Structure 1
């Protein structure tokens, strides 16, 4: 029993340490990108020595790929069209809200993805096939809506990409948003922005 308790404590301590390392790495990669980030800086952000950090990770590249996969997995979970909803307005509204909530709540993770894309997307090669398959599924549903006359004729893929562009802006350009519009950290302001973006997109596709 004592051995089990000890093992559980060790595991919990390791999990907490890794959470601290991930938080530090997210901040460092988000601010400086892969090339600019260093394990020394990540260790300092995590409140440990570089030698301690390398006890838990093999290197910067492995840590970076872990975080990149984390944001891709989160997006894979939230950027699906909700199968429990039928009406285009409800489906798109939920989709937009999920994207906006991620931009508000995890902007640094979003910026890691954007930074990787801007640097050429070397670490995203495994991601693109799944992403393209995902967007094709959405295109098919949007074409059905167009055929039913509930959406105006439009380019389905561009429509989805435009949703990404608008919703991700609030993460990638949060500094500009805060300067031009004001602090967007409170729930009331975020709800107002979500409502405005949703109305803009839904009216644009004539739902």
Structure 2
């Protein structure tokens, strides 16, 4: 399937790009999609790293009302000069980008400017005017590692993305501490407040 911003953007709609990475918190992606689509004039597309699909399936997202794009959709082996390039089309499409969850690995890649998959290529190609929110999620000791603080500093102060969280709770690995992704309803709330969305129940 060929995705182009020109064909997929709908006037008057808010276009939300949800990116999931290799953290167990990716299991919340279908909930985020379903909740966002409960608001008027919202479209959602999901971009997934391969590790994040250990925690949900493409059918989970399609059942919630959206689609998942992966590395396999980027370069199919049939590219011709002038054809749409997926990571460019997706960034043109997006009004807001949510990296939820952002694993330690992807955080490091963003901070260092890596472009080794669909997600990181898309992030590197984003316009600085696109509101972008990073929701870190990792084990407490990974979060407390000195490199994590440096990566977050670069992402916040140099790249100028908004970093929200992580929060403290009982983690999936069994540890208790800071490192969990911001609650998924609070992630949705950020978009609702940013664009002053009205729920479909208010139609």
Normalising by structure 1, what TM-score?
Answer: 0.24
Q: 1 or 2, which has the higher strand percentage?
A: 2
Give the TM-score taking structure 2 as reference length: 0.25
Greater radius of gyration (CA): 1
